[in-house]
Amino acid sequence: MKRFIKSCVTISALSSLLIAPVVLSAGQASAQPKKGFDGNYVGGGLSGQVTNGGQQNDAANLGGNIQGRVKIKNTPISARTKVLWNNDATAINPEISADLGINKSTNLYGAVGYSFIEQDGQSSPLGNKDSVTASIGVESQVKKGIVVYSNATVSLDGFDNSKTLPVNVGGGVGFKF
């Protein structure tokens, strides 16, 4: 029951993060200059699970990531996917995010998604079983066509037989398309 309540509180908090940019951007005048990065990109970098579930096949680990973003035009919403891997398994994590421009080329975003683990029971960068995920991240176009990104993702029920939540932290460099 405690785990269910903890999951509900986490989902509620992350939902608030997702809804806030929509509400805050609704009142902006159309004459104001656009804020935030408004492009699509794909990139790669490093990622690691920073928590340990205390059981076999759920230790903290380091690996890589490929991440992509497709902006949904005229909305503060984006479709995203992360592919995270280590020596044992791969996790595919599609997400929907709400983006908040914090300057002319940088976004802060919150996302919800689902993590599909290549093989249940094997340690991946998002736990050892399929689960709902929530992420928060930042992305910025640093030069024309070059984007840097960083994010933290929590898998809400990603470890078998453990109350610990898998947390992945990653970042990388992307190319705008």
Per-residue pLDDT tens for 44-56?
Answer: 999 988 887 666 6
What's the CATH number where 127 sits? 2.40.160.20
* pLDDT of amino acid 166: 92
Would 10 be classed as within a structural domain? Answer: yes
Would 141 be classed as within a structural domain? Answer: yes
Q: How far apart are CA 35 and CA 37, in angstroms?
A: 7
pTM of this prediction? Answer: 0.78
Total tally of structural domains belonging to the chain = 1
Give the burial class of 47: count Cβ atoms within 10 A of its Cβ; 0-12 exposed, 13-18 middle, 19 or more buried: buried
Range of the domain at 49: 2-25+37-176
Would 30 be classed as within a structural domain? Answer: no
